[in-house]
A and B are shown apart, each in its own frame.
Chain A
Amino acid sequence: MPIHDHGYARYQGTRTPPGRAWAVIAGAGIRGMLSARPFLFVLLFAWLQFFVRAVMLYLAANVPQADVIAPSPATFREFFDQQGFFVFVVAVYVGAGLLANDRRANALQIYLSKPLTRIEYIAGKLAVVMAFLAFVTWVPALLLLGLQAMFTGSLAFVREHAFLIPAITLFGFLQVLLASITMLALSSLSTSARYVGMLYAGAVIFSEAVFQTLRGVTGGTGLSWVSFGASLAQVGDVIFRVEPRYDTPWGVSLLAVGFVIALSAWVLARRVRGVEIVT
């Protein structure tokens, strides 16, 4: 169209067939977050543990006296445990406003009037949170495994613990999915990102507090399934083939995690609609 023509003209170009809008939503969300400088600092801090552990791997590979810090499957399990704080922070920072802000601005009507389904919309939003959470958990964990091989100049450790790559991937996915979908479900319940953040923190802290109270009362950890953090940790221990930390059967912990994910998916399916129906 010539620059001087300010009239409306029919579009003659190509169109992408329906089904790819989720990638547009995800791309826009990721770019939006990366343009916020404070968030870049959060990401940088989230990688601090990676740098520390990279140095430890280097020392273990090159300094004979540093045998005590030689890596084991537990090293990677601990890495995920310690990244838990940043999973929380990033989930709140990225996810709290994803749906809440759209709901506040009535954006759902705009989105769903385009050729995209509710599932695509949710998938796009979910991809934003999951991408950043994977960036602070799964990506550095795999990189650490790669660095270990690089520093030692041998694939012996990776071969000896061949389950680590699927374990890192599976647990990383479970941790990221649980945090992302829970956060999105809470975000769909409100129009205030701040309130959603507090709600998420409350849910995490409350379920942990209930578990610790029950632990004190019963003297055992068989009721760890009431805390979704504890349930995830228990499943993680099994995935990484380390001694499970609680008495709860891991199947029960897995069920608890599955229940939270299913509940969140149900909430999202109920709340993400083009029209709010009050009956």
Chain B
Amino acid sequence: MDATTQDAATGNAAGGFAGDRPPVARLEAVTVSYGRSHALQSVDAVFPSGAVGLLGPNGAGKSTLLKTLLGFVRPDGGRMQVLGMDVVDRPLDIRARLGYMPESDAHIPGINAVTFVAYCGRLAGLPAADAMQRAHAVLQYVGLGEARYRAVDTYSTGMKQRIKLAQALVHDPDLLFLDEPTNGMDPRGREEMLALIRDLAQRKGVNVILSSHVLPDVETACDRVVVLHQGRVVAQGPIAELKGQSRRAFELRVKGDVARFVSGLRDAGVECHDTDDDVMRVLIGEDRGARDLFALAVRHDVQVRHLRPSVQTLEDVFAKAIGES
């Protein structure tokens, strides 16, 4: 765990919470096992207010973490708080202020969209008339206004994603858990979904924890990130700070024995990633620069055909965090 991670975890200094607001969720040494398999291993994490991305490859434990915070899964050990309340002691009070959009298709069968969303509102404690009014409003908001009298079973994948968001929003939660909200959506639908999430977090005052393995989604919608890998937190903090972490990025293409050169770069402490084309991304310390890359190229007898300064992306942060773990 690096310095930024430590700061975020303790809630102090620059890497801490957004403003003076308390964190919306906090986990301390939380361990969850399914039989012999450890889904979460002594997870310490803090989710400040605003939009926080929960990032990790498939199987990292993201969904388990959300389900544990919801009280669906009982942890083997550790403590958890959501909205300042203990998850074990006050699960119902937490769920009354929380909206959950599950990863898999989920709806109440046999009813139309507006009835479904209003029903969810009633389950969350809203009076019947208010639940119905909010169901109409929320369905308009998520872009299903025209389709609200259609049976949910007949919805397309993208529409099902939207209605899952609508049911999570109908009771006006203070905190939203969104588990892979853009799964199965076309590019336009994905953009619209991310715009909705941004709008909720930035303008409507709804805190969001967005679980995803799609890095651009998290980068678009969130200011902060918690990176999970193999059930452990490997990095957390503001994305801007994590990206600016004392490293410089370059795009580099060389001619010659590329494998030997890459090996030489790594020996010299330079991080190196393949990209889709023949250009590689290299990340070097802030005290070093292009001159050092040229020197390494000379040493390994390769020609530099392309060298361009770049900026660190969340992908670089993610790759580094996972690589280090």
A residues with CB within 8 A of B: 1, 5-11, 13-18, 20-21, 24-25, 28, 32, 101-102, 104-107, 109-117, 273-275, 277-279
Name the A residues within 8 Å of B73 (CB-CB): 274-275, 277
Structural contact, B126 and A13, CB atoms closer than 8 A: yes
B250 at the interface (CB under 8 A from A): no
Structural contact, A15 and B106, CB atoms closer than 8 A: no
Structural contact, A15 and B70, CB atoms closer than 8 A: no
B300 at the interface (CB under 8 A from A): no
Structural contact, A115 and B92, CB atoms closer than 8 A: yes
Instruction: Name the residue on B nearest A113 (C-beta).
Output: B100
Structural contact, A109 and B100, CB atoms closer than 8 A: yes
From known contacts A113-B95, A278-B34, A279-B35, infer whether A6 and B140 are also in contact, taking CB-CB under 8 Å. Answer: yes
If A8-B200, A11-B130, A274-B73 are given as contacts, then 13 extra A-B residue pairs at C-beta distance below 8 Å, sorted by A number, are A6-B141, A11-B126, A11-B134, A13-B126, A15-B124, A24-B123, A105-B106, A106-B105, A110-B167, A112-B70, A114-B171, A115-B125, A275-B72
Bound-state Cα–Cα, A121 to B271, Å: 53
Bound-state Cα–Cα, A106 to B105, Å: 7
Interface centre among B35, B120, B137 (most CB of A within 10 A): B137
Structural contact, B106 and A110, CB atoms closer than 8 A: yes
Name the A residues within 8 Å of B172 (CB-CB): 10-11
Structural contact, A273 and B145, CB atoms closer than 8 A: no
Bound-state Cα–Cα, A278 to B64, Å: 13
Bound-state Cα–Cα, A15 to B130, Å: 10
Name the A residues within 8 Å of B169 (CB-CB): 8
B240 at the interface (CB under 8 A from A): no
Instruction: Name the residue on B nearest A108 (C-beta).
Output: B106
**Count of interface residues, chain B, beta-carbon cutoff 8 Å:** 51
Name the A residues within 8 Å of B34 (CB-CB): 277-279
From known contacts A13-B127, A101-B110, infer whether A115 and B137 are also in contact, taking CB-CB under 8 Å. Answer: no
From known contacts A10-B205, A115-B93, infer whether A274 and B70 are also in contact, taking CB-CB under 8 Å. Answer: yes
B299 at the interface (CB under 8 A from A): no
Query: Contacting B123 at CB < 8 Å: which of A7, A25, A278?
Result: A25
Name the A residues within 8 Å of B93 (CB-CB): 18, 115
Structural contact, A101 and B124, CB atoms closer than 8 A: no
Give 23 A-B contacts (CB < 8 Å), ordered by A residue: A8-B199, A8-B200, A8-B204, A13-B126, A16-B125, A21-B123, A24-B122, A104-B109, A105-B105, A105-B107, A106-B104, A107-B109, A109-B104, A110-B102, A110-B106, A110-B167, A113-B98, A113-B168, A115-B124, A115-B125, A116-B92, A116-B95, A117-B92
Name the A residues within 8 Å of B71 (CB-CB): 274
Instruction: Name the residue on B nearest A103 (C-beta).
Output: B109
Name the A residues within 8 Å of B107 (CB-CB): 105-107, 110
